């Protein structure tokens, strides 16, 4: 079995019916038939925040906007990681996955600068072992890459990445997708264009773990989170 589902309480996953952004609807048409949806969250309920564990509870809230409610990282977290890695993390507690496809809509709300970022986390074993995608305006040795944190300060592992990412205005929404195949060791990251990955890496250091949302040291909003895993016989 290439994934493990864990629950806070024994019960049935309730799939949420949500309105999609047009770009998100188009993206999800390309999900392989042999994958099944195991988690879906639109953050329209205040109770959704209970699905996550935060590095700082006070930095996160369910926020209302013209497009509906979303999970809002509204300020810097009061958190000091043991090794150099992102400060602002919301860890989804309900699922632990190996192979997966994740899609989410993102709104980066900080000022424009080279490291303006939002991050998605996966393979989370503990506070010092995980992967994360760092989507930032300009690529360098610490930005706009796929990173591994393995009881040491983060290291970039992508064999391919884009030189720049356009976050647009503070009200612009985007779609990000991560595809993970642990057998092949591949990690692919898509941003708005779901046909050509912006980033690719090959690594098998961590083969399963929890999913997370956040930023290294910026702010932003997250909505329409969906996670698929391969079907089992």
Mean pLDDT of 120-134: 98
CA distance 105 to 210: 19
Question: What is the phi/psi pair of residue 44, to 5°?
Answer: -75, -20
- Bridge-partner residues for 175, per DSSP? 105
- In the chain the first and final C-alpha atoms are separated, in Å, by 10
Size of the chain, expressed as the number of residues it contains: 233
How much of the chain exceeds pLDDT 70, in percent?
A: 87
Six-digit token pair at 103?
Answer: 């899609």
Residue 217 near residue 87 (C-beta atoms within 8 A): yes
CA distance 21 to 79: 33
Residues 177-226: tens digit of each pLDDT: 999 999 999 999 999 999 999 999 999 999 999 999 999 999 999 999 99
Residue 29 near residue 194 (C-beta atoms within 8 A): no
Q: What is the pLDDT of residue 21?
A: 40
Per-residue pLDDT at 232 exceeds 60: yes
CA distance 70 to 199: 26
Higher pLDDT, 32 or 67: 32
Question: What is the phi/psi pair of residue 106, to 5°?
Answer: -130, 145
Residues 40-61: tens digit of each pLDDT: 999 999 999 999 999 999 999 9
Residue ranges of alpha helices (H) inside the chain are 22-28
Residue 190 near residue 165 (C-beta atoms within 8 A): no
Distances, alpha carbon 24 to alpha carbons 20, 21, 102, in Å: 6, 5, 12
Residues 134-183: tens digit of each pLDDT: 999 999 999 999 999 999 999 999 999 999 999 999 999 999 999 999 99
Q: What is the pLDDT of residue 65?
A: 73
Q: What is the pLDDT of residue 67?
A: 74
**Cα dihedral angle (143, 43, 89, 181), rounded to 10 degrees?**
-60
Q: What is the pLDDT of residue 190?
A: 98
Residue pointed to by tokens 């990690």: 187
Residues 87-103: tens digit of each pLDDT: 999 999 989 999 999 99
Over its C-alpha atoms, the chain yields an Rg (Å, rounded) of 16
Closest listed residue to residue 219, CA positions, set 108, 135, 137, 136:
108
Residues 5-31: tens digit of each pLDDT: 333 332 333 333 333 344 444 455 689
């Amino acid at each position: 079995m290439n994934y493990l589902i864990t629950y806070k309480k024994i019960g049935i996953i309730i799939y949420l019916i949500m309105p999609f952004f047009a770009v998100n609807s188009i993206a999800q048409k390309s999900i392989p038939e042999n994958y099944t949806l195991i988690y879906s969250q639109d953050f329209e309920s205040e109770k959704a925040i209970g699905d996550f564990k935060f590095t700082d509870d006070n930095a996160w809230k369910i926020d209302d906007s013209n497009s509906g409610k979303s999970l809002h990282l509204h300020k810097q977290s009061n958190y000091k990681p043991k090794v150099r890695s992102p400060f602002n993390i919301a860890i989804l507690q309900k699922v632990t996955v190996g192979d997966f496809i994740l899609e989410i809509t993102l709104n980066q709300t900080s000022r424009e600068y080279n490291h303006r970022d939002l991050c998605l986390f996966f393979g989370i074993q503990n506070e010092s072992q995980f992967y994360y995608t760092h989507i930032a305006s300009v690529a360098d040795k610490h930005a706009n890459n796929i990173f591994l944190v393995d009881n040491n300060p983060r290291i970039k592992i992508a064999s391919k990445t884009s030189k720049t990412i356009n976050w647009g205005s503070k009200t612009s929404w985007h779609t990000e997708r991560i595809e993970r195949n642990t057998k092949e060791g591949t990690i692919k990251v898509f941003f708005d264009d779901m046909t050509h990955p912006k980033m690719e890496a090959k690594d098998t250091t961590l083969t399963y773990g929890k999913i997370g949302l956040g930023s290294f040291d910026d702010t932003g909003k997250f909505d329409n989170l969906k996670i698929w895993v391969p079907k089992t016989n």
